[in-house]
Amino acid sequence: MTRTLEIYTQGLHLAERIFDQVKRNENLIFAEVRDYANLLMQNTLQSPDDFLQYSIRSTPNNFLLAHSVNCVILTSLIGQDLGYESEKLEILAVATLLHDIGMVKMFDLVNSPVKFSKKEREELEKHSVHGAEIIDQLQDIDSSVRDAILQHHEDDDGMGYPSHLKEKGINELASVIHVADVYEALSHPRPYRNAMLPHAAIKETVDSKQRFNRRPLKTLLTVVSLFPLGTYVQLNTKAIGKVVKVTKTAFMRPTLQILVNHDGRPAPDGMLIELV
């Protein structure tokens, strides 16, 4: 098992344990949450491509667990690009890991294979308030974590919930989590719908740009790029390649591993080209 997969899997197990502890009204072991959030954040910043690859994988059976971990990967990279220092990155990672903790008593509803009714949607929308209440019971936790969790569904145009806050009235970290949360959710399957392809999820997120703070939204676009890692691209020559590397300074020109040659034959192993 690679170190990346080890850390990623550790996150899925921890997320499961966090939800279990809260469900049984046990005290959340916050030191463990903070240590793991830090570990994932730091390793993501060291090897962004490796972690982004895992963050786009589909995990339909435990989507809330993977969602928490995937969002930490995204918000760590967004936070770094926004120039956050290590302490702020740590708070952001903790808040992101716990942002949907308020869903804990709604698992059956969340996993319903049919689209939510209006009443069910209203019930689900209470999860940010429930999440803040859970955090209120903890000690020695930065108040930004609570505010970020409470406000991660507030929209810049005032159409979000629970308080219809607007623009600068919204906690800064909440606005970072918000954009990562929406993009991650769209690009992964849910019990009642399929996943969107990453580029379609980007387009959908940008199409509703009035909902988001412009800075993290713009940063998300450079982080996930127009050619997300792990996706397939067909070239003008008809050759097919997989995106294996994207640099933030040249995200229009990813490196592709050619899988199928222009003549339809399998390409030799390890053939890489840079898209120009």
Whole-angstrom CA distances from 26 to 21, 37, 118 are 5, 20, 32
State the sign of the Cα–Cα–Cα–Cα dihedral 227, 232, 234, 238.
Answer: positive
Among 50, 90, 100, 156, binds Fe ion (CB under 5 A): 100
Token pair of 136 as six digits = 């209120």
Binding to Fe ion in span 222-251, by CB under 5 A: none
Which residue has its beta carbon closest to Fe ion? 100
Q: Does 154 bind Fe ion (CB under 5 A)?
A: no
CB of 153 to Fe ion, least distance (A): 6
Q: Which stretch binds Fe ion (CB under 5 A): 41-49, 98-106, 154-162, 259-267?
A: 98-106
- Rounded to an integer, what distance in angstroms lies between the CA atom of residue 91 and that of residue 68? 15
Backbone angles phi, psi at 103, to 5 degrees: -80, -5
- Rounded to an integer, what distance in angstroms lies between the CA atom of residue 153 and that of residue 192? 21
Token pair of 160 as six digits = 């979000």
CB of 148 to Fe ion, least distance (A): 11
- Rounded to an integer, what distance in angstroms lies between the CA atom of residue 149 and that of residue 53? 26
Q: Which of 103, 86, 74, 96 is nearest to 42 (CA)?
A: 86
Cβ proximity to Fe ion: between 3 and 115 the closer is 115
Q: Which stretch binds Fe ion (CB under 5 A): 55-63, 99-107, 139-147, 205-213?
A: 99-107
CB of 97 to Fe ion, least distance (A): 13
Token pair of 145 as six digits = 């974590």
- Rounded to an integer, what distance in angstroms lies between the CA atom of residue 152 and that of residue 160? 9
CB of 210 to Fe ion, least distance (A): 19
Q: Which stretch binds Fe ion (CB under 5 A): 92-100, 159-167, 182-190, 198-206?
A: 92-100
Cβ proximity to Fe ion: between 100 and 172 the closer is 100
Size, binding site for Fe ion by CB under 5 A? 1
How are strands ordered across the β-sheet holding 255-260?
Answer: 232-234, 240-245, 255-260, 272-274
Cβ proximity to Fe ion: between 4 and 112 the closer is 112
Backbone angles phi, psi at 67, to 5 degrees: -60, -45
Kindly write out the interface string for residues 194-213 of this chain, putting x where it contacts Fe ion by CB under 5 A and - elsewhere: --------------------
- Rounded to an integer, what distance in angstroms lies between the CA atom of residue 167 and that of residue 157? 7
Q: Which stretch binds Fe ion (CB under 5 A): 68-76, 93-101, 160-168, 254-262?
A: 93-101
Q: Which stretch binds Fe ion (CB under 5 A): 2-10, 100-108, 237-245, 250-258?
A: 100-108
CB atoms within 10 A of CB 271: 13
CB of 232 to Fe ion, least distance (A): 30
Token pair of 133 as six digits = 């209440």
CB of 162 to Fe ion, least distance (A): 11
CB of 76 to Fe ion, least distance (A): 18
Q: Which stretch binds Fe ion (CB under 5 A): 13-21, 94-102, 233-241, 245-253?
A: 94-102
Residues at the site binding Fe ion, with contacts judged by CB under 5 A: 100
